[in-house]
């Protein structure tokens, strides 16, 4: 499934819809429709149009839309080269180099993003097509699964498949082995995940996955970001097998 989105040209997303029974399109509320105002300029009558500002969907609010709360859609959104979101009040464009909407129909710059919300697709695009350092790839993966595990998924058994496409692309970047949501060269560091303290739940039964993987719990997870990455550089060394008599 991931290859369909990764090899697409553009993906149309019914972002504001709650299910397949809803339309792709929406009707703009009357209060946000433009009105013509009379005016004069240089002695001539001119038409001036104005409207109340749209609720700006893109800078954070779009992530609360029904479609983007789905764990499956998180992967599809990042894998697709371009996505056109149909929101409740505006359309939103996302690609690996730019993000814009009807409220701000200009290419977003790094300077603009430094003041607020960043497009996950642009962040992931920089990781996939840039040449980031291994430490940055590790931090990016932790940030991705932190977001991913907070999203909704119907069947817990889908938690790994719904991330498999991203894991495959990340594997090509990291040149590393993938171990049930963790990576072979940074296994020790990756094992330091923890449950979201605000969403603590019991471990599911029956047992599904290895308990050292965040896949083994059904709640959102986080990790302790205060431990320096360099402290775990030795995790990449090959393990030795000891024999006892």
- pLDDT > 70: what percent of the chain? 74
* Structural contact between residues 101 and 90, judged by C-beta atoms closer than 8 angstroms: yes
pLDDT of residue 56: 63
3-state SS of 29-90 is CHHHCCEEEEEEECCEEEEEEECCCCCCCCCCHHHHCCHHHEHHHHHHHHHCCEEEEECCCC
Q: Given this model, what pLDDT does residue 83 score?
A: 92
Q: What is the pLDDT of residue 130?
A: 64
| Residue 116 pLDDT | 44
Write out pLDDT tens, residues 38-77: 778 888 888 888 888 777 654 444 556 888 888 999 999 9
- Decide if pLDDT at 12 tops 90: yes
Asked if pLDDT for residue 114 goes beyond 60, the answer is no
How do the domains of the chain map onto residue ranges?
1-29+47-130, 132-238
pTM: 0.74
Q: State residue 157's pLDDT score.
A: 82
**Is-cis flag, bond preceding 128, omega within 30?**
no
Segment 8-26 mean pLDDT: 87
pLDDT at residue 72 in the model:
92
Q: How confident is the model at residue 125 (pLDDT cuts 50, 70, 90)?
A: confident
> Of the ranges 9-18, 158-167, 173-182, 200-209, which one carries the lowest mean pLDDT score?
200-209
pLDDT above 70 (res 145): yes
Sequence-distant contacts of 52-55: CB under 8 A, at least 24 apart:
53/103, 54/89, 54/90, 54/102, 54/103, 55/88, 55/89
* pLDDT band, residue 13 (cuts 50/70/90): very high
pLDDT at 80: 92
Cβ–Cβ under 8 Å, residues 69 and 157: no
Kindly state the average pLDDT of the residues 160-170. 89
CA separation for the pair 238, 130 (Å, rounded): 28
């Amino acid at each position: 499934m991931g290859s369909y989105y990764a090899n697409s040209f553009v993906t149309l997303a019914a972002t504001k819809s709650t299910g397949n029974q809803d339309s792709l399109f929406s009707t703009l509320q009357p209060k946000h429709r433009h009105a013509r105002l009379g005016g004069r300029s240089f002695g001539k009558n001119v038409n001036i149009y104005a409207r109340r500002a749209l609720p700006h969907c893109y800078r954070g609010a779009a992530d609360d839309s029904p479609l983007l709360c789905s764990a499956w859609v998180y992967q599809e959104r990042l894998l697709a080269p371009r996505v056109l979101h149909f929101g409740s009040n505006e359309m939103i464009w996302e690609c690996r180099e730019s993000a814009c909407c009807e409220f701000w129909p200009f290419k977003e710059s790094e300077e603009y993003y430094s003041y607020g919300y960043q497009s996950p697709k642009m962040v992931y695009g920089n990781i996939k097509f840039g040449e980031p350092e291994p430490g940055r790839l590790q931090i990016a993966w932790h940030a991705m699964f932190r977001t991913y595990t907070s999203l909704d998924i119907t069947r817990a058994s889908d938690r790994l498949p719904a991330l498999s496409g991203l894991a495959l692309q990340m594997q090509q970047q990291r040149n590393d082995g993938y171990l049930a949501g963790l990576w072979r060269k940074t296994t020790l560091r990756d094992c330091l995940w923890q449950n979201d303290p605000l969403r603590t739940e019991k471990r599911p039964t029956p047992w599904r996955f290895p308990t050292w993987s965040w896949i083994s719990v059904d709640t959102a997870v986080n990790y302790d970001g205060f431990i320096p990455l360099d402290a775990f550089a030795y995790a990449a060394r090959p393990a030795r097998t000891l024999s006892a008599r």
